[in-house]
Amino acid sequence: MTDKPESETKAANAMWGGRFAAGPDAIMEAINASIGFDQRLHAQDIAGSRAHAAMLAAQGIIASSDAEAIRKGLLTVLSEIEAGGFAFSTALEDIHMNVEARLKEVIGEPAGRLHTARSRNDQVATDFRLWVREQADAAVAGITALQRALLAQAEAGADWVMPGFTHLQTAQPVTWGHHMMAYVEMLGRDAGRFRDARTRMNECPLGAAALAGTSFPIDRHATAAALGFDRPMANSLDAVADRDFALEFLSAASICAMHLSRFAEELVIWSSAQFRFVRLSDRFSTGSSIMPQKRNPDAAELLRAKIGRILGATVALFTVMKGLPLAYSKDMQEDKEQVFDAADSLMLSLAAMTGMVQDMTANREVLRAAASSGFSTATDLADWLVRALGLPFREAHHVTGSLVALAEGKGCDLPELTLAEMQAAHPGITQEVYSVLGVDNSVRSRQSYGGTAPDQVRAQVARWKEMLA
């Protein structure tokens, strides 16, 4: 084959664009290198290498003196990275090769023995698992902090009456504490998902090598134990090919972010001038550049949007993995940026929501007034007709509906109807009916387990305080 004319080479280079004027070699280096993002795995990579070197020495695969030199050298490299003085090289592609190259500069020939009986395939799988495991623990801690903030709000407002909504229409009175506890329950499930995912991911890929294991007499149980895993993964193909642990983390993060987004939406609505249910602190609000009266709930709005990034990362990684044959393919290099970004977004969202909940102030008077509007005790009236008069619920529903229509026509609420007006709808109604129509009476009556009655709310607060202790 003859060389291309210089004019053709220049034309080809121009097609790659100015950034890659050097041609295909620069393109390949740029697309192949992951050091720009996987340097975040440096601590996990060095921890895995230290465990691997110690095991190799214990098994007589390398000399103890070499293992000791590797151990000290890796600690030197770690300190350099953490001090910010490490020069990462794109030419060395990834964190694994960057660390190993620097280790060779620090300790010389023994560094070449570190990669005995392993591959970058099992190395990166181990590093990534260690990192995601830490993030699962961090997510649980962040969730717990938010739950504690919600518990404080719930305990303070266990008997504060507010409207409960369905379809964003006033439905029945509930308590502020009950509403806060709903999110405590949701977040409890979120924490459970992260814990479950952590349990499943706590198996060690190290020692699977490229895909088939190794002929060296390694002790995979020793390296698994040294890195805090429950056991080594039982199939070497699965060990290097699996990214279920990252997908589970992203799935749990997406559900958690969805819960946070729902609460953020409520805070946006509640803090509006039309609702005035809550006041967010200045720490989590901003002003307008043109309208001096505005207090914008920007933190809640930004948090509401984070689900897009996190769910997007989840879909992206599912898409990367869905068509890959066993075992490792370079496509899997695209796993980390998605997870890194989602984890960062989730932790920021949890911290922001915790701050907002800790700082926000409920407007009790406005909440109470809103709870008393919209015929919110209509269900209490229907229940009373069933309980006191023995009406079938459907008949009680009809009688109540006629009384709501009457009150609506008069421009008043149900408790403001006279007894005579009540009896016109059903003659069996007595003065006792007024005992169930006030919002305080309504919430106190909801004593079923998990109901909105203040006593029930306080019991749930106590239960969760004990669980989170």
Catalytically active residues are: 167, 288
**Residue 414's closest CA among 442, 392, 390, 391?**
442
Residues 6+ apart with CB under 8 A from 400: 378, 379, 381, 382, 385
Residue 449 burial (CB < 10 Å; 0-12/13-18/19+)?
A: exposed
Long-range contacts of 397-400 (CB under 8 A, 24+ apart): 399/425, 399/426
> Taking phi first (over 0 means left), then psi (-120 to 50 degrees means alpha), and beta for anything else, what does residue 400 get?
alpha
**Residue 226's closest CA among 68, 99, 41, 50?**
50
Q: What is the DSSP letter of 18?
A: G
What is the rounded (10 degree) CA torsion for 382, 388, 394, 399? -60
- Gap between the terminal Cα atoms of the chain: 74
Determine how β-strand 231-232 pairs with β-strand 169-175. Answer: unpaired
**Residue 74's closest CA among 94, 92, 96?**
96
> Taking phi first (over 0 means left), then psi (-120 to 50 degrees means alpha), and beta for anything else, what does residue 270 get?
alpha
Residue 4, token pair as written in the block: 């291309």
Residues 246 and 132 sit within 8 Å (Cβ to Cβ): yes
State residue 232 phi and psi, 5-degree precision. -75, 155
